[in-house]
Amino acid sequence: MSSIVAKPLVVLGALCFVPLAVSVAAGGRLMRGQWRGLGRDAVAVARATTAATRATLGALADRR
């Protein structure tokens, strides 16, 4: 697949996945009744997902 097509697909996937990952992480904590640290965990999940997306985009850029 061309990098012209791949990069927008990765970015679009990340835009969909980051809120989903944060929601799943927050939902798991809420189901266990753990309210403390919920915002901190959501920020950590969002940062980790964003870092993984940047690494993927970097790998795609290096392949070019």
Q: Which residue has the tokens 């964003």?
A: 50
Q: For the chain, how many structural domains are there in total?
A: 1
Residues 6+ apart with CB under 8 A from 60: 3, 6, 7, 10
pLDDT of 6 > 60? The answer is: yes
pTM for this prediction:
0.52
Do 7 and 62 contact (CB within 8 A), yes or no? no
pLDDT of residue 2: 55
**Percentage of residues in the chain having pLDDT higher than 70:** 80
- Enter the DSSP assignment of 32: T
27: containing domain: 3-63
Do 22 and 46 contact (CB within 8 A), yes or no? yes
